[in-house]
Amino acid sequence: MLRRLVPVAANLPAVIQAYVGLDAGGTRTRAVVTSFDLVPLGRGASGPANASTENLPTLVETLVEAVDDALAAAGVSVPSVIRISCGVAGVAASARRHALERALSERYGENKAMVFTDARIALAGATRGPAEGAGIVLIAGTGAIAFGRNARGDEARAGGWGALLDDEGSGYAIARRGLVAALRQIDGRGPATLISDLLIAADRSAADIVQSLYRVAIKPTDIAAYYPVVLEAARKGDRVARGILANAAEELALAVTTVIRRLEMEGDTFPIATVGGVFSAGELLVPALTSRILEVAPGAIVGPPAYPPEIGAIRLALAAEHPEGQ
């Protein structure tokens, strides 16, 4: 349940030209307040905010909660805010961009809100170069998507169609495969896996988990919550869990290389920023992912982003106001 929203006090110290950036995803929402220098003045957080799965009032409430937390932490009053720039998961598929911009502008000031996809703000934070520069971002959290832009400004995406039909390589997909593997072991249809033992150690068998999941209206985050179990099994050498992570690396590499080919970037040098909790797998996933990508684009530079996505959102706001600085 969301906390009760507390309005930001009007008499808090003002910061000239403050900006708020939000990264709203399927697991959590993060907000940050900065000025032109992008140095964080305060941070806020709230729950999941996927525009494809949450109703509009709940979605707005979640975003507002994170913004108000960040403003209060920074000691910034609402009149001091120049722009609130948001990246929201699922906003393209849900066609809610304008509705969110209107709702946030009604609360914080006319025409103050800008809403983008979560992939776009993540790409804007990929490098210290121009916010609208060339590069690719690979997001693998609850969901998964690759989004890129070439030097000509052409853009392309692959993946990110949601858990029902897509999101291969995501925390959701990895966790689902892990639960399936545990069930196959129970039936005798699949090999033994440490995933089952770890679930039992947490006082829940795979069968118990499945029964509980079918009894309620589950969300992708409910399944993705079991990603750490698969990762722990893989770290302990479980072959089934390692195979699941290897498959995730292949799927994520396919998304990236598809974007590379569509944008004709095979011969270019450009960054590929990896964003999301799946990359906590480290050596169990990233080297295989990188190797597959470099086979297609040897000049690609794979690694974490220069800035977190919420800072990327502010970079997009600044770029819109000062395009000459690109």
Banded pLDDT at 16 (limits 50, 70, 90): low
Section 264-271 average pLDDT:
96
The proportion of the chain whose per-residue pLDDT surpasses 70, expressed as a percent, equals 92
Cβ atoms of 255 and 138 closer than 8 Å:
yes
- CATH architecture observed for domain 18-125+308-325: 2-Layer Sandwich (3.30)
pLDDT at 9: 44
Which amino acid, 24? A
- Residue 175 confidence (pLDDT) above 80: yes
- Fold category of 133-305 in CATH: Nucleotidyltransferase; domain 5 (3.30.420)
Q: What is the pLDDT of residues 41-66, one digit of tens each?
A: 999 999 988 888 788 999 999 999 99
Paired residues of 145 in beta bridges: 139, 159
Cβ atoms of 174 and 227 closer than 8 Å:
yes
pLDDT at 202: 65
- Better pLDDT: 204 or 283: 283
Question: What DSSP assignment string belongs to 127-194?
Answer: -SS-TT-SEEEEEESSSEEEEEE-TT--EEEEE-S-TTT--TTSHHHHHHHHHHHHHHHHHTSS---H
- Residue 34 confidence (pLDDT) above 60: yes
pLDDT at 49: 87
Which span out of 114-123, 156-165, 210-219 was modeled with the highest average pLDDT?
114-123
- Residue 78 confidence (pLDDT) above 60: yes
Residue ranges of the chain that CATH labels 3.30.420.40: 18-125+308-325, 133-305
Banded pLDDT at 258 (limits 50, 70, 90): very high
pLDDT at 189: 95
Query: Quick one: tokens of 250?
Result: 């292949």
Q: What is the pLDDT of residues 92-107, one digit of tens each?
A: 777 788 999 999 999 9
Q: What is the DSSP secondary structure assignment for residue 21, as one 8-state letter?
A: E
- Residue 70 confidence (pLDDT) above 60: yes
pLDDT at 121: 94
Least confident window among 74-88, 190-204, 242-256, 264-278: 190-204
- Residue 177 confidence (pLDDT) above 50: yes
Paired residues of 84 in beta bridges: 20, 113
pLDDT at 55: 85
Least confident window among 30-44, 119-133, 200-214, 249-263: 200-214
Residue with tokens 């809403």: 115
Q: What is the pLDDT of residues 2-15, one digit of tens each?
A: 444 444 444 444 44
Paired residues of 136 in beta bridges: 148, 272
- Average pLDDT over the chain reads 89
pLDDT at 213: 76
- Residue 1 confidence (pLDDT) above 50: no
pLDDT at 146: 96
Pairing of strands 29-34, 135-140: unpaired
CA dist., res. 176 & res. 229, Å (int): 11
Q: What is the pLDDT of residues 101-143, one digit of tens each?
A: 999 999 999 889 999 999 999 999 988 888 888 999 999 999 9
- Residue 247 confidence (pLDDT) above 90: yes
